[in-house]
Structure 1
Amino acid sequence: MLGYVIAIPITILVLTLHHELSTRERAWPGGIFPAIYFIVFGYLLITKDLDINSSRDIFFYILGFGVFVGIWIDGRNSLKRKIKKELDKMKSYDMK
């Protein structure tokens, strides 16, 4: 029970930080978390330190990676929309 009390706020903090890094002008800060996730779980799979009992376990590891990549892509798209909105606003002022 205590593990969940600690894990949930840490998960929320990591995902929030990842989203913030993904919406920066440069793309690489948002790619840090997916890269770390991929490297850590790849290492654990290679060294057989990761206990995999079924394909369901593999599915959840892939799902975690997918969540990180999805947040990164969403952050990049959010930044593009924000920049486009600002440019449209500037163009409308230029037309006047």
Structure 2
Amino acid sequence: MFKFFMAIMVAIVVLATQQYLSTRKNWVMGGFLPIIWLGFSIWIIYFSHLKTNHSLIPACVVMFLTLMCVWAEGRESLKKRINEELNKMKIHDIK
């Protein structure tokens, strides 16, 4: 049971970090975690000598897709925030 809660806590920290990095102006920062996760997943599945490797594949794919979705959402959020700031500046310039 402890391992389950630790896995959930790690996932929450990773997703929160991904959300933060994906909303920065440098788009590459948010791409690091999905690439690191992909490498880690490949290492765990193919180079580890665990017998339950194939049961981890769906979990690794879901986490990778989740990280990519959070990255895409963060990029859209940044674009929206920048557009709102530009609109405020335009309105202020008109007055």
Name the structure 1 match of 2:7. Answer: 7
CA distance 1:49–1:31, shift in 2 (3 Å): farther
Residue aligning to 2:34: 34
Equivalent residue for 1:90?
A: 89
Q: TM-score, normalised by structure 1?
A: 0.84
RMSD across aligned positions (CA): 1.8
Q: How many pairs align? A: 93
Q: Which secondary structure state, in structure 2, belongs to the residue aligned with residue 67 of structure 1? A: helix
Deviation above 4 Å: which 4+ runs of structure 1? none
What residue ranges of structure 2 are gaps of 5+ in the alignment? none
- Extract unaligned runs of 5+ from structure 1: none
Q: Identity of aligned pairs, percent?
A: 33
Secondary structure in structure 1 of the residue aligned to 2:54: coil
Cα displacement (A) at 1:47: 2.7
**What displacement does 1:14 show?**
1.4
Partners of 1:91 and 1:79 lie apart in 2 by 18
